[in-house]
Amino acid sequence: MRIFNKLKRAAVAASLVLSVAVPAAHADEQYFPLQSYRVGPYAAGGTGFFGGFIDYLNLINTRDGGVNGVKLTWSEGETQYEVERGVEVYERLKNNPGVAAWNPLSVGIAYAMIDRITQDKVPLVTINHGRTDSTDGRVFPYVFPLLLNPYSETSGIVNYIASKEGGLDSLKGKKIAVLYHGSPYGKETIPIYELLAKKYGFELQQIEVPHPGNEQQAQWLTIRRAKPDYVVLRGWGVMNPVALKSAAKVGFPVDHIVGNVWSNSEEDAIPAGDAAKGYTAITTQASGAEYPVVKEIIKTLYDNGKGNLEDKSRIGSVYHNLGIVNGILNVEAIRIAQEKFGKRTLTGDEVRWGFEHLQLDPARVEALGAKDLFHSINVTWDNHEGNGYVTFQQWDGKKWNVVSDWIAPDWALLRPIIEKSAEAYAKEKGIKLRTSEDQVTATN
């Protein structure tokens, strides 16, 4: 029976993948095309994130009847985290009416979509990832690396280590090793760690782990010989548990390893077993099911058999909560845009305007039932990250526990570097820099 149910679910998923026709366009519907990945190597993250995202959209429909009466709709296209499939799904779903925004949760797919979404004038949300310089809304009007770009993450981690050592001045003379995934994602923060090492006077060693990262003996022996005070783990997928296990093998203390935002999930810690106990990682959203919005999702959806996660024990996990927060940000952008353009189906460019005014202070976050789930966001026309705060969580062998206050990255330090990179991109592509006057034009 169980297998039958799984086959049935697979058939439903397949029909979703194959279906080109989404619900017919109604004037009161806003549509989310989802380039999800529920099978393949990264399915664990994909099911959690897209499960949380869909749960929140479903909550808004069930509880509120949509956003000011505008129903939210969505359909999924399976990408298996592969760029070409992601682009194919984009081309297949983009003509559906009322597209609000794209949320691929994949650096590769996001990169491949930038020119397309810019031409189509629909926002591309890359929460916690994506190109750092897409933070600069002067050059990337439709790309939103919400809450945290890689440079801010780097600064947040260094600030956290400093707080453990007694302040930024205490970093002088310390040794930090960065173990990074051998991919463009892994390498993106190399210059920022170098910059911060120079600024704060710590000794830096950056060590690459070749993809996929299932062998790290050599890297960890090198680390043991170098005897750093901290190791920053900038990993992905199988690289993370292997790093924690390899650290244990060479006797490096796990509580001196700090994981980045893609090394911070249950899927990263559980396979490492006891070797992960005491491991700390950065996050923009806390895990756990005790937040009012998560409780409401459980009560409204899961208690009525409408939840998206197959395994209820994953409710409140890191990826599930990231999906919920992503849902909040998308829905609030629509709500804000509706205040200006009317309570109806919005165009992609109108939703872009909504994202560029997505300002949720802690009071508004609390009103949304997300107090302590995430801190706040303050997106503007030229700052598409929105100055998200970070916190740090520690793995106790079974779950993550928050162990720090909300920490602000050093945005002032990072902004000129981001602008320089974005301007170089604009020059290469022949893009005219936007001004604050350009933000008000919603044309499509």
Partner 1 sequence: MSGFDWQFFLEVLIGGLLSGVMYSLVAIGFVLIYKTSGVLNFAQGAMLLFAALTFVSLVERGVPFALALIITFAVMVAIGIAIERVVLRPLTNRPPMTLFMATLGLSYVLEGAAQLLWGTQVHGLNLGIDDVPFEVGGIFISQFDFFAAAVAAALVLSLSIFFRYARVGLAFRAVADDQFAALAVGLRLPRIWATVWAVAGLVALVAGLLWGARLGVQFSLSLVVLKALPVLVLGGFDSVPGAIVGGLIIGASEKLAEVYIGEYFGGGIESWFAYVVALAFLLIRPSGIFGQKLVERV
How many residues make up the chain in this entry?
444
At 422, list the tokens: 């974005």
At 334, list the tokens: 């629509």
Among 25, 221, 367, 403, binds partner 1 (CB under 8 A): 221
- C-beta closer to partner 1: residue 251 or 416: 251
- C-beta closer to partner 1: residue 207 or 417: 207
Among 52, 98, 108, 237, binds partner 1 (CB under 8 A): 237
> Would you count residue 218 as binding partner 1 (CB under 8 A)?
yes
At 17, list the tokens: 């993948």
Minimum distance, C-beta of residue 43 to partner 1, in the bound complex (Å): 3
How far is it, in rounded angstroms, from Cα 58 to Cα 54? Answer: 6
> Would you count residue 257 as binding partner 1 (CB under 8 A)?
no
* 8 A C-beta contact, residue 138 and residue 422: yes
> Would you count residue 217 as binding partner 1 (CB under 8 A)?
yes
Among 6, 8, 63, 172, binds partner 1 (CB under 8 A): 6
> Would you count residue 210 as binding partner 1 (CB under 8 A)?
yes
275-314: contacts with partner 1 (CB under 8 A):
275, 310-311, 314
CA atoms in the 13 A half-sphere facing the CB of 208: 11
How far is it, in rounded angstroms, from Cα 26 to Cα 97? Answer: 8
- Would you put residue 89 in left (φ > 0), alpha (ψ -120 to 50) or beta? alpha
Minimum distance, C-beta of residue 135 to partner 1, in the bound complex (Å): 27
Among 23, 97, 201, 212, binds partner 1 (CB under 8 A): 212
> Would you count residue 12 as binding partner 1 (CB under 8 A)?
no
Q: Which amino acid appears at position 200 of this protein?
A: Y
Among 121, 245, 343, 371, binds partner 1 (CB under 8 A): 245
> Would you count residue 8 as binding partner 1 (CB under 8 A)?
no
- Block residue for tokens 């209820």: 312
Q: Rounded to the nearest 5 degrees, what angle is found at the Cα of 401, between the Cα atoms of 135 and 377? A: 25
Instruction: Please choose, out of 136-144, 212-220, 281-289, 348-356, the segment that lies near partner 1 by the rule CB under 8 A.
Output: 212-220
> Would you count residue 219 as binding partner 1 (CB under 8 A)?
yes
Q: Which amino acid appears at position 105 of this protein?
A: L
- C-beta closer to partner 1: residue 275 or 324: 275
Minimum distance, C-beta of residue 59 to partner 1, in the bound complex (Å): 24
* 8 A C-beta contact, residue 63 and residue 300: yes
Minimum distance, C-beta of residue 189 to partner 1, in the bound complex (Å): 15
At 356, list the tokens: 């560029």
> Could you tell me which residues are beta bridge partners of residue 415?
none
SS3 call for 353:
helix
14-53: contacts with partner 1 (CB under 8 A):
38-44, 46-47
DSSP of 192-238, one letter per residue? Answer: HHHHHHHHHT-EEEEEEE-TT----HHHHHHHHHH--SEEEEE--TT
Binding map of partner 1 across residues 135-174, x = CB under 8 A, - = no contact: ----------------------------------------
How far is it, in rounded angstroms, from Cα 11 to Cα 170? Answer: 57
Instruction: Please choose, out of 168-176, 216-224, 378-386, 403-411, the segment that lies near partner 1 by the rule CB under 8 A.
Output: 216-224
Alpha-helical segments (H) within 33-174:
43-64, 83-93, 107-120, 150-165
Among 112, 195, 270, 433, binds partner 1 (CB under 8 A): 270
> Could you tell me which residues are beta bridge partners of residue 180?
208, 234
Among 19, 95, 214, 441, binds partner 1 (CB under 8 A): 214
Instruction: Please choose, out of 3-11, 102-110, 159-167, 294-302, the segment that lies near partner 1 by the rule CB under 8 A.
Output: 3-11
Footprint of partner 1 on this chain (CB under 8 A)? 3, 6-7, 10, 38-44, 46-47, 182, 206-212, 214-215, 217-219, 221-222, 224-225, 237-238, 241-242, 245, 248-251, 267, 270-273, 275, 310-311, 314
